[in-house]
Structure 1
Amino acid sequence: MKELEVKVLNIDLKEMESKLMSLGATLIDKELQVNTLIDSKENFIQGKLDSYLRIRETKSTLTKDTKLTLTMKKNINREGIRENIEINTDISDKNAILEILESLGYYVIQEGFKERTSYILNNARFDLDKWDDLTYPYPYMEIEVNDEDELKDIVKLLNIPKENISTKSIVELRKEKNLL
């Protein structure tokens, strides 16, 4: 699946959620996530592939459903908008997958905990994210769109300052803040 997204930094999540609701956005879900990043000791996936491998455990606070997903996310462009190829598969046993990956030379490099509230408005997805303080103590919003024109319209509609828009990954943001 191809994904076009940006992060909006330096925002108040409650204020942004109020804006989205006042514009008629539809709540998709509220989640508690455990994100487990995996790489080799040489950081092959991140360093050589400009990608990351993740196991995400998602628990919906609305439905109480829990889901485990293995994802390989490959960055293919960062000019103006972050473009990724995302390959996902549901898994049933996190420990078994981790054991398989470890036997292949891939290990858990970081585990982070995130609260996410997601909305849809005008075919765009908005994820309001708050990580645990050790992972990334600054809240942000991800906007996922179908094309750059749609992003421009949303930025204007929500009155988002251009300097708050980032195409950086969470790993890059963590490096910037010396959180690695």
Structure 2
Amino acid sequence: MQEVEVKILEIDPKKVQDKLYALGAEKIFDGEVSGFIYDFPDGKLNKKKQVLRLRKEGDRAMLAFKHKLSVENVKVSDEFEVEVDNFEITQKIIDSLGLIERKKISKHRVSFLLNNVRFEIDKFLGELEYVPAFLEIEAEDAEIIYQYAEMLGFSRADCKPWSGFDMMKCYGTE
């Protein structure tokens, strides 16, 4: 499945939530998300613009493999994601395959859904807490993303085709 998304930096979470509610969006998640990024010791996945991520989202666990295809105006990736029953066992399987944990990222996330467009309001926790809150918009194509960004009061220029690592670089850490 293709993932098409942008990030909008330094948002006011309350204002964005209020606008999403006014548009009729449904809140589908509000809680802590912890993501663990894995790679081989030689960085093989990163060199190929690939990511293996194990994520805890509330009481759910998800395993995702992403391959970044483009970052021109929006970030486009092939993404394969599956819910796993047991986070700890999945972690052991990944470790047994010789992959190592490259990064752990925790954040508070509020997710909304409106007309098959997903909105994630994120605020990093822990060592990245100083990074301002940001919005991620995911839809089937760039024009839909821009349309909803504008409805929320943002311009195309506000829409960054960035990964989480790009965000960290922007704010001086990785």
Alignment correspondent of 1:17? 17
- 1:45-85 CA-to-partner distances (Å, cap 9, x unmatched) read 11x221211111111xxxxxx11111111111112111111
Q: Tell whether the 8 Å contact from 1:3 to 1:86 is kept in structure 2 after alignment.
A: yes
State whether residues 134 and 179 of structure 1, in contact with CA within 8 Å, keep that contact through their aligned partners in structure 2.
no
Q: 1:43 to 1:178 in 2, by over 3 A?
A: farther
What does the per-residue CA deviation read over 1:118-173, in whole Å, with 9 as the maximum and x for residues that have no partner? 11223311111111141362211110112222123212222203332111100122
**Contact 1:53/1:73 (CA < 8 Å) preserved in 2?**
yes
The match for 1:177 is 171
Aligned to 1:155: 149
Matched residue, 1:51: 50
Counterpart AA for 1:161: S
1:89 paired with 2:82, answer: yes
CA distance in 2, matches of 1:111, 1:131: 11
Does the alignment pair 1:2 with 2:21?
no
Whether contact under 8 Å (1:6, 1:167) holds in the other structure is: yes
1:74-108 residue CA offsets vs partner (Å, 9 max, x unmatched): 11111211111111122233333333322332111
The 5 Å alignment of 1:19-34 reads 19-34=19-34
Between the aligned partners of 1:83 and 1:105, the Cα distance in structure 2 is 28
Number of the residue aligned with 1:168: 162
Alpha-carbon distance in structure 2 between the residues aligned to 1:118 and 1:79:
25
| Secondary structure, aligned partner of 2:143 | helix
Which residue number in structure 2 is paired with residue 99 of structure 1?
Answer: 92
Percent identity (aligned) = 26
Report the TM-score when normalising by structure 1: 0.87
CA gap of 1:148–1:163, structure 2 versus 1, over 3 A, is closer
CA RMSD in angstroms, aligned pairs only: 1.7
Q: How far apart are the structure 1 equivalents of 2:14 and 2:121?
A: 9
* Number of equivalent positions: 173
Measured in 1, the distance between the counterparts of 2:60 and 2:41 equals: 28
Query: Which of 128, 131, 141 in structure 2 is aligned with 1:135?
Result: 128
2:52 aligned partner, one-letter code: L
TM value normalised by structure 2: 0.90
